Structure 1
């Protein structure tokens, strides 16, 4: 009986009590991660008067849609900015993954000439940046992309960190024997990469795709530098401008009798903007979850 119990503990790794303890801890961690976003959603549906008098509450005394109504008045601008953000995110992610995956695959092969040089080049560019001024001069003067949608895509079209991640992934998940077998069968480098390497690298590609998509979705700084047309403003930058306009109106409301009579749901609108900017990208995460699990376990030892 004791041997069976010891064997059960060794197979599972932990005793039943330890498993229950770790399960409770994981639930606490999960709730602590989910609760802030749920709290933001609750605040976005709270009336401004309740927030002013009673502060933030889990169950507010008065519910309201004033924050969303205020944003709905600017629905044309928000929808246009949302379209720009979605377009930039999709196209930028495709470009980023295409450049990153091909560069990383070349670095993962020992037959690459000057492999050390290109590896050091990536590492240096990851650790050191030329700065904002050279980037601005290149984008505006050299490439002429001022007030162009490409200015929102090209600055993040290549990620040094993602290159290192994918290079390691290729070396662990794509054996040299498979590539050599493909070459023996007459496949070229491009065909080998597309038909053999990429299908084996879906977990890694999904991981860097999510990294790239998050970067493009949350980017507002490039729009601040390069975009002047209202038709090319992305969602994050537009929401920042709306927040700045609300702060400006509230600060100067005392100087105008007309503005003094207008009540703007500042906090509710701010939280509504957080929901609008976060919910779409958060909704896509479950579709990538299984690939993250595959990416974490693919380096395990197989017997």
Structure 2
């Protein structure tokens, strides 16, 4: 394939399927292999260079439009638990342990598809809650992993991947970068991002207007995800007024709260209509809607932290 050459979705998916089929053999013969995602190649250059510096093979990704990405990804499900708590003195030690882990897997390990949250069939309310809690825990970990938080930068349903047990995994870290904890930020000296380009419907107003980058960017994006999970609606729709889900929910909530049968109308109007809801499950819907609304308020200083979101979801 020539540099810059474009391909169709069918050709792209056929190439990826071929790679999936050959991946177990390739890994066993040649060691760990990284497949480059070139949707944002400028953001991947340093990462790719580092992988190659450590001796990993990086496969060039065929050119494609981001909306043609297949719906499943082959992730190493148990790798995080395998590496958890282990300390490697040198890159070679890490590479040896990683190769040993790869070689210990049954070939079937590489053939389990991962679905995106926004491509699943309707989920029960308990499952919705569990997925949101697991995702919140992952983002809380990123924000507290070191002295400077890692900001994902593109939290959305399409980047929350579910394994066959419906356990969530955060995907697409092409936009992630070290950031600033909101508690340490001030209006006079906020961190300004010059190159992050997330998905517009999930980005907070302070970022779209002024490129202000703090942990509350991920909080806002996750708030939109919570609203999507609660309502079963997309983050943006041309067939809805307002088009953005955050503004739509806020508008309908304020209109419905004036009615005497507010709770009943709220469930009827805004809950995910694909999933039956009982009185007990209504508490889950209400909490997801409330947390989503809190997390996506315009004033970033009024948004909760992920530790607060985790506690609220654990209380359900």
Bin the TM-score by the shorter chain: under 0.3
Q: What's the TM-score, normalizing by structure 1?
A: 0.21
**Structure with the greater relative contact order (CA < 8 A, sep ≥ 6): 1 or 2?**
1
Q: TM-score, normalised by structure 2?
A: 0.20
Which has a greater percent of helix? Answer: 1
Q: Which has the larger radius of gyration?
A: 1
